[in-house]
Structure 1
Amino acid sequence: MSVVGVGTDVLEEARIARLVDSGGSRFLAHWYTAAEVEMCFTSARPSRVAATCFAVKEAALKAIGISFPGPLMWREIEVSLDDAGSVTVRLAGDAAVQATRSGVVRLHASTARTAGWLAAVVVAEG
């Protein structure tokens, strides 16, 4: 296997917190899958989970080589986080089709957080 693409994203956690606070469930349902929304609401820090998912989704789009397609495509990228901090990315629908066309077989993701900022890196393997 070889690297097909790499994507990164850095964002301020407070920016997503403001969106979660102002838009609540409506904002989350617009950009996140049902499983991601549930993960946010069952977390002690919903905005941190939302920010992590947002950054990973953005990095995944870049790694696959897809330009910003709007909310529908973003809901076709599902991020899951475990208690140990491991990140898993699953693709569905058009996102999966476009990834396959680009030769992507698997996505690897990692995140880091410091002083209110969150970074995500996704490597697309082919």
Structure 2
Amino acid sequence: MEITGLGSAIVECPRIGKMIQQYGEIFLIRVYREKELVFCQRRTRALEFFSSFWAAKEAVLNCLGFSGPGVSRTQVEIIMDRQGRPLVQLHGSAKLAAKKLGIADFMISLASCRTHATATVISLPGKAVSSRNRD
């Protein structure tokens, strides 16, 4: 299996909790897409899921070569499939960047506890962006 990129990120859950408390809806809609908000808010450990999704977005952006400000986190969407596995769906400039880099898919792993959340993402090559990465 050929790998085109690797990204990882770790975040402190209380830091994300503080951002949500301090900025509320403004923070949430700048970082998360509608489906992500609904999914996380319905969980008993919502903060861990928000933090895991944040870490996943950062790890995907690392795979795409983006770092720092300038790319909207909402361009990377984390979706859970029916078996509870995380999937990546790209939008906007993140989707275009993946296409230019020949990235067709991602493998993603999430882990969290009360204090930290982490994500590891591997990007995989392909000729066209896969169905999971279509708007």
TM-score (norm 1): 0.88
SS in 2 for 1:65: coil
Partner of 2:118: 119
* Equivalence for 1:109: 108
Shift of 1:67: 2.4
* Preserved contact between residue 111 and residue 118 of structure 2 (Cα < 8 Å): yes
Match of 1:61 in 2: 61
Name the amino acid aligned to 2:121: V
Question: Which amino acid in 2 is paired with 1:65?
Answer: G
The question of whether the paired residues in 2 share the 8 Å contact of 1:61 and 1:68 is answered with no
Tell me the percent identity.
28
Pair 1:30-2:30 in alignment: yes
Contact 2:61–2:67 under 8 Å retained in 1: yes
**Alpha-carbon displacement from aligned partner over 1:40-89 (angstroms, at most 9, x marks no partner):** 2222222111101100000000012122343x531110012358652111
- 4+ residue runs over 6 A deviation: none
Number of residue pairs the alignment of both structures matches: 125
- The higher-RCO structure (CA 8 Å, 6+ apart) is 1
Deviation at 1:31, TM superposition (A): 1.1
Q: Which amino acid aligns with 2:2?
A: S
1:66 is paired with a residue of what secondary structure? Answer: coil
Segments of structure 1 that go 5 or more residues without pairing to the other structure are none
Task: State the TM-score, normalized to the length of structure 2.
Answer: 0.83
Q: Deviations over 1:24-43 (max 9, x none)?
A: 22210111111111122222
- 2-side partners of 1:81 and 1:48: how far apart? 15
Shift of 1:5: 0.4
Per-residue deviation, residues 69-125 of structure 1 (Å, max 9, x unmatched): 43x531110012358652111101111110110110101110122461111100000
Aligned-pair RMSD on alpha carbons? 1.8
In the other structure, the counterpart of 1:94 is 93
Unaligned runs of 5+ in 2: 126-135
CA contact (8 A) 1:20 1:47 kept: no
